[in-house]
Amino acid sequence: MEDLSLHHLAPQPAKGAQKMAIVGVVASGNLEVLVERVLSDLECLIEIRTAAEGFGEVWNAVVADFVERYSPGGLKFSINDGGARPDTVSLRLAQAVRLMEGEQ
Amino acid sequence: MSTALTPMATAPDPVTSWYEASARTRIRLLLDPGSFVELIGPEKREISPHLKVFDLPEQFDDGIVVGCGSLDGSKVLIAAQEGRFMGGAFGEVHGAKLTGLLRAARDIGSMPVLILFDTGGVRLQEANAGELAIAEIMRAVIEARSAGAKVIGLIGGRAGCYGGGGLIAGCCSGLIVSEQGRIAVSGPEVIETNRGVEEFDSRDRALVWRTMGGKHRRLMGAAEVFVDDTGQAFRDAALMLLGQVGGFELRTLTNEQARLEARLRDFGGCADAVDIWMAEGIADAASIPALPADQFIALADRAGRISHDAR
Amino acid sequence: MTLDEILTSLFPDGHDVRNDGGVVFGSGSLRFGGRALVVGVADRIPLGVDDAVRLSAQILQSIVSGSGPILVVVDSDSQRMSKRDELLGLNEFLAHLGKCLIYADRHGRPTIGLLYGHSAAGAFLATALATRVLVGLPGATPAVMDLPSMSKVTKLSVEVLEEKAKSTPVFAPGLENLAQTGAVHVIWDAEVPLVDQLETLLATLPDSDDRRDLLGKQRGGRGRAHEIAERVRSLALQSR
């Protein structure tokens, strides 16, 4: 198992007032994302636990992309990964942040 | 869609199929809107301590969602297994969440428990803890029922209700099952390994469903209600069944003994489910598997074989 | 110990327990008076619908017509794995057997499991694990699932599983592991007359509350179950 911890500064705080959200399931090719509004306004933290070791660079790229697109300031994302592909990861992160912003 | 803040927001699935839905979505489909309060939710991160040894990923809720809410205005306790995480199998933490919920039901006495089964049985990586959890849950179901709480099982997910889950289901006051649901102790592959493919070809889906599936279980009286694969159908059935099931006392057990003995006498020599259905007097038994839900439900209700004073 | 040796050692004053094709039934004289009902499974037979319904019949009879403890002797295989058993609803038959034992235990007939041989999976749940107190005899070999089968499912070799089992009692078969996790209350001494150990057990029998999770915590085999169950119970009571 590999644990990754990616810190970012976002240009803006995430919109909305939702405190917590969860998306996804830990299954083969899938992942769960728990997101909590617990950090200071522009801070962003993504913690990943994955059985697929050695993909740090891929996670870095996917997360950097996500932070740039969605500016999730103040949010902590905790991920349990079941071996999802990068596009599935991006999808779940996007779903998660949309829930926090109050959009359905 | 409401924009009110919920303590834990979850992605609303566009589907209403029970089979396709996640555990949390099933709870949302079943209960009154906004009424669900989750206990020891994923933000508490009570994960399994035993999966690391096997390099397996954990899930923050350990694959089961428990809490309370209301069903048509009346308070209920509810547990929903996530069948896609480790096959919905019982591990130490997973099982303990359900055990605690049932013990609360015992202590309260008047609040029903809805168990949304979706399980292959014991989680092998925690086999002893999982098996013990199931034993404790069986006992807790009986204690809750003895205190007056009704315990209803809902079965219609991907993993079915297998192994020790099947035994817990057999302890419930009543069961609701859909076409997709299966209830058994041993799984198809295990029977094939044990007895050979001639006796049981695990890849013969029609055979698996005839032997263990929702329609057969309904026709045998192993489940009280058969429903279509929708949240609404399960909800309506739960409300109805809660009004029908009996209590738990010695007479319940002696009635159950008689019911099971009669089943062996009547069907113990049958080789296949179709033989059982024919013996039950169902015309055109071979057409049962293809019958759409509403026609099947009408036929099953005519055929009978439900006794609410057994179990 | 064979079943006969066990019964003789348990009931030096005599018993009428019979083994009928692996289904055990009868009673034995207790030293301080009264009799114990004895039911169970012998000869490592798999437990299927036919035998399960016979056993539950005996237990129900005894609730209506007797008093005193019920000893559940166990040397079984797993549940019987056949098309016919599943077709007929084995889960209900095994659940019913468990229900009868649990009901008896809560209504004046305390149940004591005596695991002297093998048991596994569904048979284990419906018999030994459905008693108030489970005693193990040295040499008993309980298993939720045997390691070769686990190996097939997990795709890990038996050697790898055995290595992992050294660091945790939570998955591998065996009496010690089941004692540590709280399933087995006590392992008896094969050198001491069983009648003495039974008398001690009956004199110190716990009440019918299920404390196996607490036992597992105290013995270090299950560190989370007790606390999680108690937290959920307490939170649910608060939310009512």
CA angle B254, C70, B98 (to 5 degrees): 70
CA of C26 vs chain B CAs: smallest distance (Å): 20
Average pLDDT over residues A60-75: 97
CA distance to partner chain A, nearest, from residue B280 (Å): 42
**pTM of full prediction above 0.90:** yes
Residues found in chain C: 240
B244 contact partners, CB below 8 Å, separation of at least 6 = B174, B224, B308
Are C64 and B250 a contacting pair at CB < 8 A? yes
The CA–CA distances, whole Å, from C92 to B68, B169, B184, B253, C49 equal: 28, 8, 9, 12, 9
Using DSSP, state whether B167 is helix, strand or coil: helix
Residues of C whose CB is below 8 A from B67: 236, 239
How long is chain A? 104
The answer to whether the beta carbons of residues A6 and A42 sit under 8 Å apart is no
The answer to whether residues B274 and B290 touch, using CB atoms and an 8 Å cutoff, is no
Residues B135 and C98: their CA atoms lie apart, in Å, by: 9
**Whether the Cβ atoms of residue B23 and residue B59 lie closer than 8 Å to each other:** no
Within a domain: B98: yes
Distance CA C39, CA B75 (A): 41
> Would you list the DSSP string of A2-69?
EEEEEEEE-SSBPSS---EEEEE--STT-EEEEEEE-S-TTEEEEEEEESSTT-HHHHHHHHHHHHHH
* Cβ contacts of B11 on chain A, cutoff 8 Å: 23, 95, 99
- Count structural domains, chain B: 1
Q: Can you tell me the distance from the alpha carbon of B109 to that of A47, in angstroms, rounded to the nearest whole number?
A: 42
Q: Which of C64, C91, C154 sits opposite B170 (nearest CB)?
A: C91
Does residue B62 contact residue B123 with C-beta atoms inside 8 Å?
Answer: no
Q: How far apart are CA B168 and CA C122, in angstroms?
A: 11
Q: What is the mean pLDDT of residues B48-52?
A: 97
- List of residues 6+ apart from B294 with CB closer than 8 A: B228
- Of residues C64, C178, C232, nearest to B66 (C-beta): C232
What residue type is B121 in one-letter code? G
B112 touches B145 (CB < 8 A) = no
Would residue B205 count as lying in a domain? no
pLDDT for residue A96: 97
Residue at B277 is within a domain: no
- CA separation for the pair B276, B169 (Å, rounded): 22
Return the percentage of chain B with pLDDT > 90, whole number. Answer: 91
Residue B3 has pLDDT above 60, yes or no: no
Pick from A2, A30, A32 the residue to mutate for testing the B interface (most B CBs within 10 Å).
Answer: A32
How far apart, in whole angstroms, are the C-alpha atoms of residue A26 and residue C182? Answer: 30
Tell me whether residue B264 is in a domain.
no
Chain position carrying tokens 């006992």: B139
Per-residue pLDDT of chain C (240 residues), as tens digits, is 999 999 999 999 999 999 999 999 999 999 888 999 999 999 999 999 999 999 999 999 999 888 899 999 999 999 999 999 999 999 999 999 999 999 999 999 999 999 999 999 999 999 999 999 999 999 999 999 889 989 988 899 999 999 999 999 999 999 999 999 999 999 999 999 999 999 999 999 999 999 999 999 999 999 999 999 999 999 999 988
| C to B contact (≥3 Cβ pairs closer than 8 Å) | yes
In this predicted structure, what is the pLDDT of residue B78? 98
Residues 18-77 of A with CB under 8 A from B: 18-23, 25-27, 30, 32, 34, 36, 49-51
Gap between the Cα atoms of B254 and B244, Å rounded: 19
Dump pLDDT digits (tens) for B139-155.
Answer: 999 999 999 999 999 99
Is residue B149 in a domain?
Answer: yes
Reply yes or no on whether the pLDDT at B286 is more than 70. yes
CB C120 within 8 A of CB C145: yes
pLDDT more than 70, % of chain B: 96
| Closest of B149, B160, B81, B18 to residue C91, by C-alpha | B160
| Chains A and C touch each other (3 or more Cβ pairs < 8 A) | no
Q: A84-93 burial, b if ≥16 CB within 10 A, otherwise e?
A: beeebbbbbb
Q: What is the mean pLDDT of residues B177-188?
A: 98
DSSP code, position C187: E
Q: Count the Cβ atoms, other than its own, within 10 Å of residue A58.
A: 13
Per-residue pLDDT at C226: 98
Is residue B47 within 8 A of residue B58, CB to CB? The reply is yes
What pLDDT score does B1 carry? 43
Q: How far apart are CA B271 and CA C86, in angstroms?
A: 11
Alpha carbon of residue C123 to chain centroid: 9
pLDDT band at B304 (very low <50, low <70, confident <90, very high): low
B64 vs A27, B24, B39, B59, C172, CA distance in Å? 14, 9, 11, 9, 24
User: Are the Cβ atoms of B1 and A104 closer than 8 angstroms?
Assistant: yes
Q: What is the CA radius of gyration of chain C?
A: 18
Could you give all domains of chain C from N- to C-terminal order, each with its CATH number?
3-138+188-209 (3.90.226.10)
Residue B2 has pLDDT above 60, yes or no: no
Q: Which residue of A has its CA nearest to B82?
A: A25
Mean pLDDT of B248-252: 96
Positive or negative, the CA dihedral C92, C97, C102, C107 is positive
Strand partners, B155: B117, B177
Q: Is residue B137, in this structure, part of any structural domain at all?
A: yes
Instruction: Check which CATH number belongs to the domain holding B100 and give it.
Output: 3.90.226.10
CB of A6 closer than 8 Å to CB of A66: no
Give the structural domain span for B128. 23-183+223-246
Query: Of A97, A34, A39, which Cα lies nearest the Cα of A65?
Result: A97
Q: Which residue has the tokens 């005996």?
A: C58
Joined tokens for residue C107: 């209504």
B66: which residues sit within 8 A by CB, 6+ positions away?
Answer: B38, B39, B40, B77, B78, B79, B80, B97, B98, B100, B101, C232
Report the pLDDT value the prediction gives residue A103, as an integer from 0 to 100: 65
Asked if B47 and C228 count as a contact pair (C-beta separation under 8 A), the reply is no
Residue B190 lies in a domain: no
Task: Considering only the beta carbons, identify the residue of B11, B43, B60 that sits closest to A80.
Answer: B60
- Are B173 and B248 spatial neighbours (Cβ–Cβ below 8 Å)? yes
CB C13 within 8 A of CB C31: yes
The CA-based dihedral angle spanning residues B255, B261, B266, B269, taken in that order and rounded to the nearest 10 degrees: 160
| Chain A residue closest in CA terms to B43 | A34
Q: Say yes or no for a CB contact (<8 Å) between B58 and A25.
A: no
Residue at B275 is within a domain: no
Residues of B in contact with A100 (CB under 8 A): 9
